[in-house]
Chain A
């Protein structure tokens, strides 16, 4: 009963390095999301996808890129890591039910990223 799986759980990067945060879900959900969580700020949406091949920007997309080649996977790419990207990153997925925005999102356990 995996749900949403994020890898790695922890990572330390140097400024200017790049990396990809992986996210996979096994619930056949069409909708997937990437959030970052900073202390006292709640969660902010970075990017989201409503299906394979379709992605869109959220509230804080600068410095990140995403792709969605399959329904299951939604990786998040940091090209030039900056200290401001030190955060906890959460991936989530949601079932799509026509005209029903009340479907809950299911979250992974997060990736804790430090950039030094």
Chain B
């Protein structure tokens, strides 16, 4: 069975600081991995996805994630946080069975001025 674990339900950074949101997955087959962002009172928006073409994936709004098979990780990073990055972030793994997504618990990112 596949699963996703996000370490830290809440992360707080200062504006301009590095953002690091952690995601570890469990999968018996090569995974398809996604990061989504959710702004208050909105639905989920795709940030980036891993599809095995490249281990370093670049997404929207300056975010990127690196797939590390040996560590079963897919951490999300951004070099310099902006106030507008404050949101909840979800890591998810996709199954081949109907393309269903298994979500992590989410990490709420706060950005301090």
Question: A104 vs B34: C-alpha distance in the bound complex, in angstroms?
Answer: 8
**Across the interface, which residues of A come within 8 angstroms of B98, CB to CB?**
31, 48, 50, 56
B-contacting residues, A23-43, CB 8 Å = 31, 33, 40-43
B106 cross-chain contacts in A, Cβ below 8 A? 40, 42
Q: What are 27 A-to-B residue pairs whose CB atoms are below 8 Å?
A: A4-B43, A40-B9, A41-B105, A42-B103, A42-B104, A42-B105, A42-B106, A43-B90, A43-B103, A45-B100, A48-B100, A94-B99, A96-B99, A101-B32, A101-B94, A101-B95, A104-B49, A105-B46, A105-B99, A105-B101, A107-B43, A107-B44, A107-B45, A108-B43, A109-B42, A110-B41, A110-B42
Query: Which residues of A come within 8 Å of B, CB atoms?
Result: 4, 31, 33, 40-45, 48, 50, 56, 58, 90, 92, 94, 96, 101-110
Question: Interface code B66-98, partner A: CB below 8 Å = 1, 0 otherwise?
Answer: 000000000000000000000000100011101
Q: Let me know if B43 and A90 touch, CB within 8 A.
A: yes
Q: Shortest CB–CB separation between residue A109 and chain B, in angstroms?
A: 5
Which single residue of chain B is at the shortest CB-CB distance from A104? B46
Do A31 and B99 touch (CB < 8 A)?
yes
Give Cα A92 to B44, complex, Å: 9
Tell me the complex Cα distance, A9–B20, Å. 33
**A91 CB, min distance to chain B CBs, angstroms:** 9
B50 contacts which chain A residues (CB < 8 A)? Answer: 102
